[in-house]
Structure 1
Amino acid sequence: MSTQSELALEQNLVVQLVENGYENVCIKNEADLLSNLKTQLEKFNERTFTDEEFKQILNHLTRTTNVFEKAKILRDKFSFKNADNETVYVRFLNMEHWCKNEYQVTNQITVDGKYQTRFDVTMLINGLPLVQIELKKRGLELREAFNQIDRYKKHSYHIGMGLFQYIQIFVISNGVNTKYFALTKKPDFKFTFYWTDENNRRVSDLESFTKVFLDKCHVSKMITRYTVLHEGDKALMILRPYQYFAVEKILERVKNSPTVGPSKNGYVWHTTGSGKTLTSFKASQILSRIPKVDKVVFCVDRVDLDYKTTLEFNAFSPGSVDGSDNTKKLVKQFADPSVRLIVTTIQKLNTAITRERHQKTMDGLKDKKVVFIFDECHRSQFGDTHKNIVRYFNNHQMFGFTGTPIFTKNAATIKRQKVTTAMLFGERLHTYVITDAIKDQNVLPFSVEYTGRYEYKDNSRSNLDIDVEAIDTAELLESEERLSKIAHYIIGIHDSKTYNRAFTGMFCISNVKTLIKYYDLFRRLKREGKHDLRIASIFSYTANEAPNSDTGEIPEEDLDFNNSKVDIHTRDVMDKYIEEYNQEFKTSFSTKDSQSFNDYYKNVAKRVIDKEIDLLFVVNMFLTGFDSKKLNTLYVDKNLKYHGLIQAYSRTNRVTGEKKSHGNIVVFRNLKQATDDSIELFSTLDAKETILIEPYEDYVEKFDQAVATLLSVVPTVGSVDDLLGEDEQLRFIRAYRNLMRIKNAMETFVDFTFDSLSMDAQTFADYGSKYLDLYNATKSSTEKKKESILNEVDFQLELIRRDEINVMYILRLLAQNRGGDEATRKKREQEILTMVSSDPVLSTKRELIEKFILENLPTVSEDELEREYEDFLSVERRVAFEKLTAEEDINPELLQKTMDSIEFSGRFPTKDELVDTLNKKPSFRKRISIGERLVVKLSEFVGKFMEG
């Protein structure tokens, strides 16, 4: 039986959509698309448009090429004056009654741009292309369909009137696997999603997906209700299935609640890192538009989370939230009928309903319909405040979101009673546990290393001779010897754990007293030149930073720690650390008042996210509610259990790019059983294999198997050049890419070394050079090979890039190589240049480096190396600049302004902007081809002289 072709897959899909109620329409080009758009908009708006009126509508639809702005146009109404001076109103999409739109399907629309492009299947709503489906035949990688859409975005969607820039949802499928996504500025395959049913079971084959997801009402509901326009990123975000089902459950419960009197509550268990803020935003936003609801109050339990959540909410929808700075302002918001959605802390809410001075205003709300949504309700709702809210509001309804619910097993005892999440919120409305999220690649698994007794090894990077099993006394925990060994150990492994600081780390410590000892030790070691890590710390200087079981931490009172209220000395220490921070980052924070300290918190959070801090020292702060994709390593010298443990570990497992394959947890306590117990409590059975990555020995076996596969395709490095045809080249690319993925995951292990592997580092790098050669050949020959299958392959250059290597690093290696005999020197020089060639950024500079080696390196001293290279580079850049301007007849001043703009903003100019730098402006017909040539030439110039 032959494999189903892509054409057959496409034809079957169209037939199924027609059976589902879509009108099959034949549209072959943009002229057909425009003619059909006029007809459909007339049908949808129930009026006829003259040609002049339709021209005005088209001008409105095409007035911007910005995809984000077009998404706003789609959702808005348009009005204009017609020839009779009457105001004409035009809608493009029925946002409130999403089923009442006009649905069509077509296939093989042709667009003539840089290449002639035929789109597989396009779904039209009211005549606009809002859903695009790209298909690949069975057996091909789904990623290839994704890469093709990325190419369309660059080359095709903007062509002509640019109506394809209105696409809201993309679907990719090879028949067996089907995913959907919204297009962002920097498309990432990791942000494509499978659809599931309510119980998180995948709907992956195309036929089932079409029946469920591409149902007319459902797909338009996803566009109108469950797509978010993120103002911060200027990007579209579409909800994942578990987010959709959670919001639907909450809406259903509120809509079915009685007008007055008690209503059913509920809670949502979505694992940490799965996007609860977006889910809760959509729930809050939609609830605030329901007529029977007077107020929606989103509650968090700390000022730092209040800031973060308000920031995110307002990024989703500017002005939708006026974050309350104080209780007086909060009370004003409650009194203002126009404010439907409020974000506040639970502490301020409690003050508003318990203090006598606010009663006059607040009492008017007692009988109003108020819906409360509690973020991180595993820790915000286990005190008297919950009782106060329940007593105060007669017509309330409560919903909680948590990544780690409180069950009987992990519940704290309050007044001799164990209080659980279900006791406070009632029924669990939807569940999405960590094993679901890892399976869907929405979060990453963990690599947990329990650092116990280490013996000296010849090939070991570091040594830590402590026994975690013996840690049961405060004396041992705080001993200078133990803290010093751990500090040196962290310094020794941090770069490998973070891929040479491509990511950041956090160190969570049991209490403030011990944190101060650690931090002072790291400060001293830095002064002594033992490390150059950028460090910072934050902790509370009041008693709330003391260990307690409500954070999931094992109390250490029995270890003789002083748990009384922190004295003034602790505040002085925090101020000293902040002053050093101020000096390094040119800021002016302090602990003089809560606002300044909160501003310090926010600044620290931003710098961790931006990778300006390498290692952050904390006790409890930042261990829950803080998200940073660039944080990948957590060092733990603190007893954690259950929800506190999972929350802390989950700071490291946010998804970003190919290089970050897992979160690193390095534990200096005996937490093996606590980790196992926590995983068992907050996931499905047999979850450890999903949540914890394999031990290093298993990766060695995987690596050697991948080497064998690679050598079966290309026995030697030279044999890559002999590969016949793209199919053989593709086999090599996939084999080497798989090897890179495994090696990438291995690099963060302390024991990683090529010595124990079946391929040495040099051979690995040599194959990497060939891999990069194929990438460069593919990208430079797209004009000749428009249908190249290699052009669709994701080469994943993130995995081949070595962040520690830059030009000066390479030149210093070469300078140090000047001694010895000629043969050895030449061999070493070739090895280093191979390293340059196998790096996607540095490979563009190989010609420059070789020229510098030949002309300058033999005579320059190592001390003068950097200055000599800068002078050399300046001369070469000027020569290349003059050559470029002469060849293309470019105005040098205009091009220099463009270069300055690239360096200042990081934004690369458009084709049109480059054409405008020419002394002689080309004809309209030639602008596109000349602009594309200028983009290529300037890209080569920037790569050679301005990057890396």
Structure 2
Amino acid sequence: MSKQPEQILENQLIEQLQKLGYGMVHITNETELIDNLKNQIEKHNNVKFSSSEFEKVLNILSKGSVFEKAKTLREKQHIVRDNGDNLYFEFIQTEHWCQNQFQVTHQVTVEGNTSDSYRNRYDVTLLINGLPLVQIELKRRGLELKEAFNQINRYQRHSFGANSALFQYIQLFVISNGVNTKYYANNRYQSFKQTFYWTDKENKRLTNILNGFTSEFLEPCHISKMICKYIVLNETNKIFMVLRPYQFYAVEALIDKVMHSRKNGYVWHTTGSGKTLTSFKASQILTALPKVKKVVFVVDRKDLDYQTNKEFNSFSKGCIDGTDNTKQLVKQFADDTKLIVTTIQKLNTAISKKQYQGKMEKMQDERIVFIFDECHRSQFGDTHNRIKHFFNNPQMFGFTGTPIFADNAAKNELGKRTTKDLFGDCLHKYVITDAIKDENVLKFSVEYVGRYKKVETHHDASATEIDIEVEDIDTKELMESPVRLEKISNYILAHHKRKTHNQEFTGMFCVNGVETLIKYYDILHKKKEAGEHNLKIATIFSFAANEEDADANGFLPEELSVVEDPVPCMA
């Protein structure tokens, strides 16, 4: 009987994996899986277990949920031997991730515990130290990847948790129809939207499992590094998350800079692409480096300080002791806190005020890595220079979705400065076009409504026509014209239901300044009182210059919000 295309793909994949260094092992059932596990753990730890001792090992492996087992996998383990001695061992080497045992098997069959259980046979399984940590599900060319995704979900329901439940230790799934290949983390609530293509450093996809993906992503050292370094355990939701390729390359580039140079750099990742997770993982890895005394993650607004603390602690519970005030920040610089999250204002105060100089000066010669979130907002004034001049060994990295280049640099008393001027080279780029292609952000839908024209005669305009007639090019007069603001307000009211899918969504209306915002609010509020609409309107603004940062001295006033109606929705 001739082989089906899926079988041919499976055989070709296994052959390629063997060439990469995986040892082929024939495992058909759970008993053989456990026997192989015992041999591999013994080999990895250079120890021999008696039957009773290995039962204790299996008892450790059997406990907990998928999330708890992910922790067990990474923790040092202990049993009492038959002779009463203590034995410490590990399931995986996380610091030297290449120093693990790599095997490949296929068509392992597992049956559930109950009489009506399903009997499942898995395509290709990658074993690390005998544990099934990567499961690859293949479909023949032409079938949708969603079919492989759905099949893995069935395995999770029917048999991954059966018997010894060793398949609950899977960290990553790979689904492929040969031409298209994606990966994702093992979680309770799977979403196809959380499946990712792997790419190269330039964000070029490697989709063919036999031509690029396997040699790059499934190469033993790389897949082990992904599991050991680039999976984040989210304590809040009790799930684990794997980094996307652009996040991986950004962290790798940043770590390389710290390991092999004293140069700075910045990461250009578009808004909404997960910069917080990227910066957390970079910070977490950096804190483990002996040469780094502290990692300081700096944000530019107080509300971000709380939000970042919350997000960081969700990735690793208790990893951050939030800095509520400058005194607490100075204390963290002096104690053994490795990762600090603070605002640019408090950092500026800590290095500028005489009352803190005694404690802060003790840190001047230490190797400190600073990571600035949205670095273009707060780093174009005196504060940046103060930090550079105060610390003798700082290394500074910026994350931004909107870097400043020469053609869009605003000028202040320090002159025109770009992101490159402050931070050096761009370490990695993932721009809005990349994010749209990957469906990581919503697509743009741009409409041009109305136009500006110079005319000699006047005519009546409809309520939704936004043509404004001006005699000269006076931008301020044009943009703040009461006629223009009135017509735009009418246009919003006329089209709000259509644009928001019958008010299923809300809308945000961005304007050029506080004065204009107040004028719009007054217009819309009067129209509401007149019964022309019943929309809930809110205004959010800051008294401080944000993007332009006119003075840019590092001391930004607190942001204020004025909300008239209970729901923050600007039409």
Q: State the TM-score, normalized to the length of structure 1.
A: 0.55
CA shift for structure 1 position 86: 2.7
* Counterpart contact for 1:501–1:614, Cα < 8 Å: no
Instruction: Specify the alignment match of 1:190 in structure 2.
Output: 193
Residue 293 of structure 2: aligned partner: 294
> d(CA) in 1 for partners of 2:326 and 2:408?
33
Provide the rounded CA distance (Å) in 2 between the counterparts of 1:278 and 1:405: 19
Query: Which runs of structure 2 are paired with 1:925-936 in the superposition (5 Å)?
Result: none
Amino acid at match of 2:326: T
2:280 is equivalent to residue 281 of structure 1: yes
Q: Aligned with 2:103: secondary structure?
A: strand
Cα separation, partners in 2 of 1:414 and 1:85, compared to 1, 3 Å:
same
Could you tell me whether the CA contact under 8 Å between 1:453 and 1:465 is conserved in 2? no
Deviation of residue 54 (structure 1)? 2.0
RMSD of Structure 2 on Structure 1 (CA): 2.7
- The SS at the match of 1:447 is coil
Deviations 1:719-751 (A, max 9, x none): xxxxxxxxxxxxxxxxxxxxxxxxxxxxxxxxx
Whichever residue aligns with residue 146 of structure 1, its letter is F
Q: Distance in 1 between matches of 2:104 and 2:463?
A: 64
- Secondary structure in structure 2 of the residue aligned to 1:315: helix
Q: Residues 494, 127 of structure 1: CA spacing in aligned structure 2 closer, same or farther, 3 A cutoff? A: farther
Match of 2:376 in 1: 378
Shift of 1:449: 1.7
Q: 1:134 to 1:453 in 2, by over 3 A?
A: same
Note if 1:231 corresponds to 2:230: no
Counterpart contact for 1:476–1:482, Cα < 8 Å: yes
- CA gap 1:416/1:539 in 2 versus in 1, 3 angstroms: closer
| 2:319 alignment partner, SS class | coil
Correspondent of 1:430 among 410, 428, 431: 428
Deviation per residue, 1:888-934 (Å, 9 max, x gap): xxxxxxxxxxxxxxxxxxxxxxxxxxxxxxxxxxxxxxxxxxxxxxx
Structure 1 residues 234 and 520, CA, compared in 2 at 3 Å: closer, same or farther? farther
1:480 Cα deviation from its structure 2 partner = 5.4
Corresponding residue number in structure 2 for 1:632: none
How do 1:761-776 residues align onto structure 2 when only pairs under 5 Å count? none
Q: Which aligned pairs between 1:213-612 and structure 2 lie closer than 5 A?
A: 213-257=217-261, 263-336=262-335, 338-415=336-413, 417-452=415-450, 464-467=464-467, 472=474, 477-478=479-480, 482-526=484-528, 530-540=532-542, 542=543, 544-545=544-545, 549=548, 577-578=562-563, 584=566
**Which deviates more from structure 2 when the two are superposed, residues 195-204 or residues 399-408?**
195-204
Q: Which residue of 1 aligns with 2:62?
A: 62
Question: Please, which of 162, 166, 178 is the counterpart of residue 163 of structure 1?
Answer: 166
Distance (whole Å) between structure 1 residues aligned to residue 469 and residue 11 of structure 2: 64
2-structure distance, mates of 1:528, 1:29: 75
User: Which of these residues, 596, 615, 626, is aligned with residue 569 of structure 2?
Assistant: 615
Paired residues of 1:40 and 1:102 also in contact (CA < 8 A): yes
- C-alpha separation in 2, matches of 1:412 and 1:4: 63
Question: 2:18 matched to 1:14?
Answer: no
- Alignment correspondent of 2:126: 123
1:194 is displaced (CA, Å) by: 1.5
Cα contact 2:38–2:130 (8 A) shared by 1: yes
Q: Describe the SS at the equivalent of 2:508.
A: strand
- Compute the displacement of 1:233 (Å): 2.3
**Matched position secondary structure for 1:445:** coil
In structure 1, how many angstroms separate the alpha carbons of the residues matched to 2:549 and 2:3?
Answer: 57
**Amino acid of the structure 2 residue aligned with 1:332:** K
Q: For residues 478 and 249 of structure 1, do their structure 2 counterparts lie closer, same or farther at Cα, with a shift above 3 Å needed?
A: closer
Alignment of 1:641-680 (within 5 A): none
1:152 and 2:139 equivalent? Answer: no
Conserved 8 A contact 2:436-2:443: yes
Secondary structure of the corresponding residue to residue 69 of structure 1: helix
Matches of 1:101 and 1:340, distance apart in 2: 29
Please tell me the residue identity of whatever aligns with 1:505: G
Deviation of 1:360 after TM superposition, in Å, equals 0.3
Which segment is superposed worse, 360-369 or 234-243?
Answer: 234-243
SS in 2 for 1:229: strand
Give the length in aligned residue pairs: 548
- Alpha-carbon distance in 2 for matches of 1:244, 1:283: 9
8 Å CA contact 1:170–1:182 kept in 2: the answer is: yes
Q: Structure 2 matches for 1:821-860, cutoff 5 A? A: none
Choose from 142, 146, 159 the match for 1:143: 146
Kindly state the Cα deviation for residue 242 of structure 1 after the two structures are TM-superposed. 1.5
Post-superposition CA distance 1:499-550 (Å, at most 9, x none):
344433212222223323333444455556554444433223x3x15x8645
Distance 1:521 1:155, change over 3 A: farther
What does 1:776-815 correspond to in 2, within 5 Å? none
Judge conservation of contact 1:3–1:138 (CA < 8 Å) in 2. Answer: no
- In 2, are the aligned partners of 1:4 and 1:138 still within 8 Å (CA)? no
Q: Which moved more, 1:4-13 or 1:33-42?
A: 33-42
Q: TM-score by structure 2 length?
A: 0.89
Aligned to 1:100, what secondary structure does the other structure show? Answer: coil
Give percent identity, aligned residues only.
58
SS in 1 for 2:21: coil
| Alpha-carbon distance, 1:84 to partner | 3.2
Letter in 2 for 1:509: V
SS in 2 for 1:365: coil
Which whole-Å CA distance do the structure 2 matches of 1:416 and 1:250 have between them?
28
Q: Aligned partners of 1:229 and 1:444: how far apart in 2?
A: 27
**1:296 deviation in Å?**
0.9
1:199 aligns with 2:202: yes
Q: 5+ unaligned residues in a row in structure 1: which ranges?
A: 258-262, 455-461, 552-564, 585-612, 617-634, 636-948
Indicate conservation of the 8 Å contact 2:381/2:414, yes or no.
no
Distance in 1 separating the partners of 2:535 and 2:317? 37
Q: Are the structure 2 counterparts of residues 153 and 50 from structure 1 closer, same or farther at C-alpha, using a change threshold of 3 Å?
A: same
More divergent stretch after superposition (264-273 vs 355-364)? 264-273
Decide whether the 8 Å contact of 1:505 with 1:614 is kept in 2.
no
Q: Using the alignment, how far apart are the partners of 1:102 and 1:463 within structure 2?
A: 72
Change over 3 Å in CA distance of 1:203–1:487 after alignment to 2: same
In the TM superposition, residue 495 of structure 1 has moved relative to its aligned partner by 3.6
What is the distance in 2 between the residues matched to 1:239 and 1:331?
33
Give the residue type in structure 1 aligned to 2:382: D
Amino acid at match of 2:263: K
Unaligned ranges ≥5, structure 2: 453-461, 551-555
- Residues 533 and 614 of structure 1 are in contact (CA less than 8 Å); yes or no, is this contact kept in structure 2? no
